[in-house]
């Protein structure tokens, strides 16, 4: 069987057939056969990030490919579940269709929801009802533990804020960030590793909260900061190479001066 045997029909059955063949104990791919949910999960997360990266860069060709890779991850997990007798791909589709219809009564039913804020409130009410049915009484009960810590902090804060547990203003959160920074300094002086980790965690958590209050996505903000750091450090490396040196052969003062030069060059470019 070859992927070229199938035209672009939108029919998922060829992909499901390919997955079944890959997992065939006698005729399949040894690597695919050896995998389980735990071993595939990191690839699923990686593919989701690659989808987000394609969106960030605006590369539609890449996005098409990455969405296909992410879909393949869903098919892979569904196939393994089918082999275990738990559920199959049709069950996955039926489940999400039922959930989307249930959560959009204003589209598929008689409910009247006037704007996006009302939709958010309705969505939260429906999810609260679902949590109750699942014996998940707490507002935070279904925030996945597997999320990256920064993303989970953001989601925890948003969930708590929707039921009124939130700082009234960004200025108050900023004051809390300053307070946590002082406590990090105190913990550092104590030399207690656990205390240091706790206080640094509090500082990061409140920085995420500040980003949320200011309307900035903390993950995107940190991604932009990472890109800026890489860009400026590469400038340092390039300038040092012109001098016949590497960062390891340079002083901190020399590299810091080049960092400032990189900042100045970026500012001049933005102004121009």
Tell me the DSSP string of 31-79.
HHHH--HHHHHHHHHHHHHHHHHHHHHT-HHHHHHHHHHHHHHHHHHHH
| Residue range 37-82, pLDDT digits in tens | 999 998 998 999 899 889 989 999 999 999 999 999 999 999 999 9
Position 214 confidence tier, pLDDT thresholds 50, 70, 90: very high
The CATH fold of domain 3-101: Helix Hairpins (1.10.287)
Residue 228 tokens read as 């800026």
Length in residues, the chain: 272
| CATH tag, 143-216 | 1.10.287.1080
Which residue ranges make up each domain of the chain?
Answer: 3-101, 115-142, 143-216, 219-271
Report yes or no: 16 and 75 within 8 Å, Cβ to Cβ. yes
Per-residue pLDDT tens for 12-38?
999 999 999 999 999 999 999 999 999
pTM: 0.63
Lowest mean pLDDT among 78-87, 129-138, 197-206, 244-253: 129-138
**Neighbouring residues of 79: CB distance < 8 A, sequence distance ≥ 6:** 16, 19, 20, 23, 89
Same CATH topology for 3-101 and 143-216: the answer is: yes
Contacts of 144 (CB under 8 A, 6+ apart): 152
Residue recorded with tokens 């203003």:
169
């Amino acid at each position: 069987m070859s992927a070229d045997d199938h035209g672009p029909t939108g029919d998922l059955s060829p992909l499901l057939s390919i997955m079944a063949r890959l997992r065939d104990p006698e005729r399949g791919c040894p690597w695919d056969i050896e995998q389980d949910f735990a071993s595939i999960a990191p690839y699923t997360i990686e593919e989701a990030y690659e989808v987000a990266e394609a969106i960030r860069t605006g590369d539609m060709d890449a996005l098409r490919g990455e969405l296909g890779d992410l879909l393949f991850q869903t098919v892979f997990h569904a196939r393994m579940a089918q082999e275990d007798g738990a559920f199959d791909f049709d069950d996955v589709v039926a489940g999400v269709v039922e959930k989307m219809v249930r959560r959009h009564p204003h589209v598929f039913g008689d409910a009247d929801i006037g704007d996006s804020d009302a939709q958010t409130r309705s969505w939260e009410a429906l999810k609260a009802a679902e949590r109750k049915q699942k014996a998940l009484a707490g507002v935070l009960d279904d925030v996945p533990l597997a999320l990256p810590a920064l993303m989970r902090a953001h989601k925890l804060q948003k969930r708590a804020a929707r039921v009124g547990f939130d700082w009234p203003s960004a200025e108050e959160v900023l004051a809390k960030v300053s307070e946590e920074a002082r406590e990090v300094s105190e913990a550092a002086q104590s030399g207690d590793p656990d205390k240091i980790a706790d206080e640094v965690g509090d500082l990061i958590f409140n920085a995420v909260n500040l980003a949320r209050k200011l309307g900035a996505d903390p993950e995107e903000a940190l991604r932009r900061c990472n890109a800026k750091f890489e860009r400026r450090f590469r400038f340092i490396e390039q300038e040092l190479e012109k001098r016949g040196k590497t960062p390891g052969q340079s002083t901190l003062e020399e590299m810091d001066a080049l960092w400032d030069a990189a900042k100045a060059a970026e500012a001049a470019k933005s102004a121009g």
